[in-house]
């Protein structure tokens, strides 16, 4: 019995160590995908308002109107100073399309009965090449739902700040990729 237990423990240790060793080997071999050249070299950006939803037309879910996401994003990018903001896509190295949507879904339970609708407000930022309109990069940040208007607005502001942070972090990584010499 003692010998059988030792064999069982040895097999168990071997079974659990093989996958972790394989995963570690894969992780060491994985390389980071490149950031598109246009993002690396960009200095001028055109910010486009790709729209804002607010399904509560009579009673808005968020204050500030449908242009709030565009206005906040534009102001934050201007104050960050990372890019020169230009007035037309023709002048830009990159196009930033900011969009705010509030999708609704009905939660289904047993046999098709529903228990109500849920809302998923989110920011979507798409970075495009102005010459080809090709999508180069995109970010989505969800706004945490809240019952009270003041909390919803605070959560909106926090998600808006996260989307700006995402863009600036990408720009920093792209800049580092340009200035760091390639490893042999």
pTM: predicted TM-score of the whole model, two decimal places: 0.74
Q: What domain range includes position 116?
A: 37-179
Please check whether residue 184 lies inside any domain of the structure: no
Give the count of beta carbons closer than 10 Å to the beta carbon of residue 72: 20
145 shares its domain with 80: yes
pLDDT digits 0-9 by tens, 105-150: 766 666 666 666 778 899 999 999 999 999 999 999 999 988 898 9
Please check whether residue 50 lies inside any domain of the structure: yes
11 shares its domain with 44: no
Tell me the CATH number at 113. Answer: 3.40.50
52 shares its domain with 68: yes
Burial classification of residue 6, based on how many CB atoms lie within 10 Å of its CB (0-12 exposed, 13-18 middle, 19 or more buried): exposed
Whole-angstrom distance, CA of residue 42 vs CA of residue 167: 12
61 shares its domain with 106: yes
93 shares its domain with 175: yes
Please check whether residue 175 lies inside any domain of the structure: yes
89 shares its domain with 174: yes
pLDDT digits 0-9 by tens, 13-56: 445 555 555 455 555 667 888 999 999 999 999 999 998 776 65
As for how many domains the chain has, the answer is: 2
């Amino acid at each position: 019995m003692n010998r059988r237990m030792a064999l069982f423990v040895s097999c168990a240790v071997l079974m659990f160590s093989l996958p972790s060793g394989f995963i570690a080997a894969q992780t060491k071999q994985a390389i980071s995908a490149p950031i598109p050249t246009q993002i690396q070299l960009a200095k001028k950006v055109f910010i486009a308002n790709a729209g804002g939803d607010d399904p509560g037309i009579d009673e808005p879910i968020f204050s500030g109107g449908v242009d709030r996401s565009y206005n906040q994003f534009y102001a934050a990018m201007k104050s960050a100073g990372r890019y020169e903001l230009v007035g037309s896509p023709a002048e830009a190295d990159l196009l930033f399309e900011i969009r705010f949507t509030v999708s609704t879904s009905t939660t289904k339970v047993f046999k098709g009965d529903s228990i109500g609708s849920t809302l998923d407000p989110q920011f979507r930022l798409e970075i495009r090449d102005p010459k080809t309109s090709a999508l180069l990069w995109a970010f989505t940040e969800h706004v945490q739902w809240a019952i009270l208007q003041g909390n919803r607005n605070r959560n909106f502001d926090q998600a808006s700040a996260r989307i700006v942070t995402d863009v600036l972090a990408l720009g920093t990584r792209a800049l580092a990729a340009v200035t760091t010499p390639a490893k042999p």
